[in-house]
Structure formats: C-alpha cells, structure tokens
Amino acid sequence: MAYDKFNVLTSTAYPLPTENVDTDQIIPARFLKATERKDFDINFFRDWRFNQDGTPKPDFPLNKEIYAGSKILVGGRNFGSGSSREHAAWSVYDFGLRCVISSAFADIFKNNCLNIGVLPVQVSASFADKLFDAIFADPKTEIKVDLPNQTVTLLSTGESETFEINSYKKDNMLNGFDDIDYLKNIENEIAAFAETRPF
C-alpha cells in the first residue's frame, strides 16, 4: 500500500516509558476482525486507554490533552514485542503517528512499520532517557527527526543522535515506494529462480 513520503518531521511526542510493550497491548486480538484496513486508531492501546465501560483513563499519556496531535511516540525498551499483526503498525499510523522512537524494537513490528510508512527510530538508552526527561519536564518539547541526515534532535537543548536505516529502506521512505514495486520489477529473475527449487 502506498504511503506518504517521509522527509523531516518536527513534532511534540507522546511519552510511554513502559518496557516490553507488546502488540497485544497496542491492539488487542479481539479488534483484529476487520477485513479492510481502516479505523484502527479507535482501538489503539484499547485496554490502556479505556476502562471496560469505555470511559477514557485520564492518566494514560495517549489520552492527555497536552500531548494531543503529536506525530511521534517515544516508547520504552523492546517496543512492539509479540505477535506479527501488522494491525499494530496500522493503529500507530491511523492514530496520526509517523514515527516511533525507542532504545530497542522487536523485529517484526519494526519491519511492519517500515512497510507502511511509520519510521522506527532506534536511539541509545541514554538518549531515550533524555527524551523522556525533557518531555516530562515540558510536554511541549519538540523533537526533530531528519531522515535524509539520519538524525534525531531534541530541539530544546540541541542534543542530537544519529540512527541507522539501510539505504534501500531509506530510499523507500523518502519516496513513498514499497517492496512490492521493487519485486514486481524483477519478476523474471524470480521466476527463473523458482525453476531451480527442488520442492
């Protein structure tokens, strides 16, 4: 599915320092029954955002008015562990987020994000702590994520760190391309390869 190009993003951020946030929290299984990709924001962090009677939990960061409209989520270590459901990444996107920053991501979640145009930015644990401290001290703290230069900057102090992304994926994100575009272009090469498989 085509997505918006990603270049430089400057935004405030939602802080969620809990570690090992798994995809069952990001979107519980009972909300995976759709056959179309739409409106996954409604159940994003459903059981952490809402009580069982549907009333919002005011203390949960994603419900706090002071962060509303942020396009970045700063998450705790090992963000997105567990299930391979891409619905988790869709819900991140549908909630209006374009970037998740963490000191460590689970592999499949990270991959899923890259495939749908959400940029996962992995930073050092100490830089993640700085981001949390800055956001908690001032919710209006802005973070600049610069994909062409692969840097993430805390604008209040100017502190900055570089992040890794391979040049293929970077190119895709900058241009809004995805893997299927690439693979369809080398169809013949794949077909020739398939002929060589023993089973």
Partner 1 sequence: MTKTLFDKVWDSHVVRSIEDGPDVFFIDRHFIHEVTSPVAFLGLESRGNSVVYPERTFATADHNTPTINQHLPVADPLSANQLNALERNAAKYGISHWGLGDKNNGIVHVVGPENGITLPGATIVCGDSHTSTHGAFGAIAFGIGTSEVEMVLSTQCIMQPKPKKMRINVNGKLGAGVTPKDVALYIIAQQTTSGATGYFVEYAGDVFEDMTMEGRMTVCNLSIEMGARGGMIAPDAKTFDYIKGRSQTPKGEDWNKAMKYWETLYTEEGAEFDAEFNYNASDIEPMITYGTNPGMGIGVTKSIPNAASVEGGVETYKKSLGYMSFNEGEAMIGKQIDFVFLGSCTNGRIEDFRAFCSIVEGRKKAEHVTAWLVPGSHKVVDQIKAEGLDKIIANAGFELREPGCSACLAMNDDKIPAGKLSVSTSNRNFEGRQGPGSRTLLASPLVAAASAVEGVVTDPRTLLQTA
Provide, rounded to whole angstroms, the least separation between the CB of residue 169 and partner 1: 7
Query: Is beta strand 143-146 parallel, antiparallel or unpaired with respect to 8-11?
Result: antiparallel
Binding site for partner 1 (CB under 8 A): 1, 17-20, 22, 24-25, 28-30, 32-37, 47, 52, 76-78, 81-87, 89, 104-108, 111-112, 115-116, 166-169, 178-180, 182-184, 186-187, 189-190, 193-194, 197-199
Question: Dihedral sign, CA of 175, 74, 131, 81?
Answer: negative
Closer CB to partner 1, 87 or 98, in the complex: 87
Closer CB to partner 1, 12 or 81, in the complex: 81
Closer CB to partner 1, 5 or 157, in the complex: 5
Closer CB to partner 1, 75 or 139, in the complex: 75
Provide, rounded to whole angstroms, the least separation between the CB of residue 171 and partner 1: 8
Provide, rounded to whole angstroms, the least separation between the CB of residue 78 and partner 1: 4
Provide, rounded to whole angstroms, the least separation between the CB of residue 35 and partner 1: 4
Taking CA atoms, 99 is separated from 74, 143, 180, in Å, by 9, 11, 22
DSSP strand E in 2-150: where?
A: 8-11, 13-16, 72-75, 99-102, 119-122, 143-146
Q: Which two tokens stand for residue 82?
A: 């567990």
Contacts 24+ apart (CB under 8 A), 163-171: 163/121, 163/122, 163/123, 164/122, 165/119, 169/114
